[in-house]
Every structure is written in structure tokens, then in C-alpha cells.
A and B are shown apart, each in its own frame.
Chain A
């Protein structure tokens, strides 16, 4: 059976190729759907091939774990609402990090066992002992385990935050110093492990510290920054997988992990740039804790009735709809598209303006609008639409807050100062659909709501847009 190992290696090679081609296809809208299928075949091939690896024990156990894990994740992944996608990515990413950490743990525990066996045999083993890990493999295994464990606990916190289970940011004095100390301690134990001082208590302490660090690292980060953090953990998991792949001598893991590590790092940078925040700032400068007095906002919010708002837009020439995460939460994207179609039928020029970080991640809002059937050409990017607001009659803001907040332009004390925004205030009238008078996701007061040309339409997104649709229909009768 000499051909079997080569055949398995060939399968891994093919899998790595399919991953790269799949990702490549996923980077263009036209071929994106095929891309994930290609990558999926690669995964299937790699997993099936692994079952035939010579010298693989516990095959029944493996099959059971694969079956349980796949069916549980498949089931939850199919059922979750589109709006919850970002936290699901965080969750599955955390699982990957956890798996990488578990690989490291198994290897380390096995290493300790073999070391003990070697010693009891007096250095020259009578029983053939598997060669313990080489120093480089040991070091990379420990590093991969560290990164994987941090990514695991960090991603779970990110998941919990986006899911709304952890509302409060967790901040205390000298947090940065404590976190740094935790990391230093984990690294120190890691170095001890890698230099051959491995023992079970040391391994346990190492993992506890690593997990704790991931937890503490993520807790103080505000919800608005979560996409960047998830993307970062995604890249880290990739790296951890690559390192563990080296320990196991599995090229497919090295390639796939590294590709994701590099792609994820770049993606993290792109996302941070879209929010005008540096990655260091996201990780270490607690969002919303910026010093200085925030500008006091004068004036009052002025309400409007749905009937008036509908008339205003029905007789407008140009209407720009600015959807935000609130729209997605209210599942109102279908209603909004219905409303837009009614306007279009009346000859109004309608466009959707999407801020780079509308929703919870770059591109999240595009996915949600596409789901409702809004065609591509009606959706405009921030840079394209911003000059057009000056000739827009009505800007309809639904569930968006921070991305249209002019304080990002004018108030250096504001935590979102410097973030590019949609200039909805330039249009003649602004109608803001909002559930109540509270502040947004980032907890920042919005000067737009108090502007002279802004009218507030209070209500749940779904209900409010429903009212607008009904009012438009009565106009047509």
C-alpha cells in the first residue's frame, strides 16, 4: 500500500488548490457563489482523505465527533437570520481557534507522556518510542496553541456582544497593564513549555492564561468595533492553523491557514480604514471613552407624521434612502424595497446609500438589501453618493445613526471624530425613522436629529415603513 500516502498527499494538494481558487472566485461578485462550492469540495476531499491516513487510531471516535460537530453547526447555520450572520462568523471562527488550541494541547500532553516514557527507560528506550517533537515544532505548536486559545475566547466574547448577551463594556483602571501582564505571563509559560520544561500543570496554566487573555482583551472593546475584531481573530485563527499544520506535517493546513492569515490581516486593515480607525486604536483605545467635553447639542427633535412624510417623498424628484443596522434588525428591508418601488413607479429617482460600515460589517448591508431584491445599480457607495445629497430632495434615514452623525466632522471630542460619514444633512429635507429618542449603537448623541431640516418619524422600522407604504397607496387611489 505504498501508493496510499501519496494519494492522500495528492488529495491535500488538491484541497489547497481548491481553497485558493475558491477564495479567488469569492473575490468577485459574479463568481462568488461558485467559489464557496469549490472550497467546499476541497474541504470534503481533505476530510475524507484523512480517514485513510495510515496509523490513524480512534477512527470511530473521530467519525462520531465529525458527525456531531457538522450536524450541529449545519443546523444552526441554516436557521440563523441573515442579520445574525456576523456573530455566527465570530462563533464558528472561535471554534476553529479552539480546535487549533486543542491540537496544540493534545500534542503537548502527548509530548509530556513520551518524555516521561523516555526517562523511565533510562534515556535509551527499550520500547520503541515515537520521536518526541523537534524544538521548532514544539515552539510553533505552543505558539499556535496560544494564538488559537486567544482567538477562541476572544471570538466567543465577540459573539456574545453582537448577540446582545453582553451589553456593558467592561472597563477598569489599569486594564491595559493587567492585560499586558496576562499576555506576558502566558508567553513566559509558553517559552517554558517550548524549551522542554513541559508538565501537565504547566500546560494547564498556560491554556488558562491564554484563554483569560483573549477574554480580557475583548471585553473592553465596544460593539461598533466588533467587525474589525472578528476579522482580526479570523486572521489569527488562520495563523494558528498554519502553525499546528507545521507540527502535524500537513501542508494543506499550512497553506490554507497562511492564506487566511494574510487575507484576514489585509481585510482587517481595510475594515479599520473604512471606519477611520487604526487597529491599535480599536484594540487598545476603548471606544467611547475619549476624553474632553462633547459638544452640547442645541434645539429639539422635530417629529413628523407618516402621512406628511409620504407626501413629501411622493412629490420629490430625488430620494436617497440610507439604511442602517436598525433596518436590518426590524427586518424592514423588504418593506423598504416595496416603498422604493412605489416611489419609482411615481417617477421619483430613488437610490440607496450605503456607508462602508453600515450594518455590522463592511458589505453586510449590501447583502441584506440584495436579499430583499434591491438591484445592484440602485445601491451607491459613500464616495459616489455624497456629492449627490446637495441635489437630493429627501434623504430617508432608516435605522442608521452613527454613520450619518455630523459630529464626526465637527466635534474633535467625539469618539467617532474623523470617521467618514454620509452627508445626508446636505439634502433639502431629512426624514429619520427611529425607534425612540435614545443614542445609537456607539452611545453617541447625533446632531443630525436636531438639525433644522430634519424631521423624526418615530416607530419601529418595519411598522413605520409599512405606514409610509400605505400612505403612498392611498395617494394613488
Chain B
């Protein structure tokens, strides 16, 4: 277990880090960044794995299983969606002037 005050320090420093990262972000990146940070809290998957890992009764296991399922969804879904959004920024390179009709298949 982590010492309470140590955790408080981690908490404080991490909060400042998060604030600083976002402070100077252009508007166009708001949606991808929200999606990206959504992916990052997918780390909850690790916690759910640990929780299921020491679940003992069938009921605990069921809840834990659900947690891992949801956490995995958060992590994987968050990654795919963010990656697809950021892929669009390819065309922002200097050669962007040329048309590119990569159409979305619905």
C-alpha cells in the first residue's frame, strides 16, 4: 500500500501535469485530446484485473469480470477512436494542397 502523504504528493504533481498539458492546446485538438485522455484512463483495466484477481466468491468474480470487460472496452475503444481521429492530421503536412478523396465507407 502507498503511504497516504506520498499519494497526496503524487496526486498534486499529476494534477499540475494534466493541467499544463492541456493549457496551450489549439481548439482543433480538443476532440482528439478528450478522446486521448479517455483512452489514458483506460488504465482502469489494470485495476479491474487486480480486483478480479483477488475476487473469491462467485458474486465478486461476476462483478470483477464485468469490470475487466468494461475496462478493456474503455482502453481498446479509446485507442481505436483516438487513432482514427488523429490519422486525419496526416493531410496537414506541407503537401496538403492536393486533393485526396479517401472516402469514409459508412
**B44–A244 contact, CB under 8 A?**
yes
Interface size on B, residues (CB 8 A): 92
- For chain A residues 23-49, which have a beta carbon within 8 Å of chain B? 23-24, 26-30, 32-33, 35-37, 39-40, 43, 46-47
- Across-interface contacts of B56 in A (CB, < 8 A): 57, 110, 113
CB distance from A153 to the nearest CB of B (A): 13
- Across-interface contacts of B37 in A (CB, < 8 A): 23, 234, 238, 259-260, 263-264, 267
**A109–B59 contact, CB under 8 A?**
yes
**B44–A103 contact, CB under 8 A?**
yes
Closest residue to A57 on the B side, CB-wise? B53
**A95–B70 contact, CB under 8 A?**
yes
- Across-interface contacts of B48 in A (CB, < 8 A): 99, 102-103
Q: Is A274 an interface residue (CB 8 A)?
A: yes
- Across-interface contacts of A62 in B (CB, < 8 A): 49, 52-53, 68
- Across-interface contacts of A245 in B (CB, < 8 A): 43, 47
- Across-interface contacts of B100 in A (CB, < 8 A): 373
- Across-interface contacts of B63 in A (CB, < 8 A): 102, 105-106, 109
Q: Which of A93, A99, A238, A334 has the most chain B CB within a 10 Å cutoff?
A: A99
In-complex Cβ contact of A68 among B23, B69, B92 (8 A): B69
CB distance from B11 to the nearest CB of A (A): 5
Q: Can you offer 11 A-B residue contacts whose CB atoms are under 8 A?
A: A23-B21, A29-B26, A62-B49, A66-B45, A89-B81, A95-B71, A106-B55, A255-B14, A258-B14, A363-B29, A366-B28
- For chain B residues 22-72, which have a beta carbon within 8 Å of chain A? 22-57, 59-61, 63-72
Knowing A96-B74, A250-B50, A263-B22 are in contact, say whether A89-B34 is a contact too (CB < 8 A): yes
In-complex Cβ contact of A103 among B2, B23, B67, B83 (8 A): B67
Q: Is A70 an interface residue (CB 8 A)?
A: yes
Q: Is A371 an interface residue (CB 8 A)?
A: yes
**B57–A69 contact, CB under 8 A?**
no
Knowing A234-B34, A371-B88 are in contact, say whether A53-B50 is a contact too (CB < 8 A): yes
- How far apart are the CA atoms of A230 and B98 in the complex, in Å? 35
In-complex Cβ contact of B46 among A46, A81, A246, A263 (8 A): A46
Q: Is A2 an interface residue (CB 8 A)?
A: no
Knowing A96-B71, A270-B30 are in contact, say whether A43-B39 is a contact too (CB < 8 A): yes
Q: Is A214 an interface residue (CB 8 A)?
A: no
In-complex Cβ contact of A85 among B26, B57, B85 (8 A): B85
Closest residue to B6 on the A side, CB-wise? A251
CB distance from B51 to the nearest CB of A (A): 4
**A26–B70 contact, CB under 8 A?**
no
CB distance from A79 to the nearest CB of B (A): 9
- Across-interface contacts of A59 in B (CB, < 8 A): 53
**B27–A96 contact, CB under 8 A?**
no
**B72–A70 contact, CB under 8 A?**
yes
Knowing A27-B24, A110-B56, A262-B14 are in contact, say whether A93-B43 is a contact too (CB < 8 A): no
- For chain A residues 75-103, which have a beta carbon within 8 Å of chain B? 76-78, 80-82, 85-86, 88-89, 91-93, 95-96, 98-103
Q: Is A3 an interface residue (CB 8 A)?
A: no
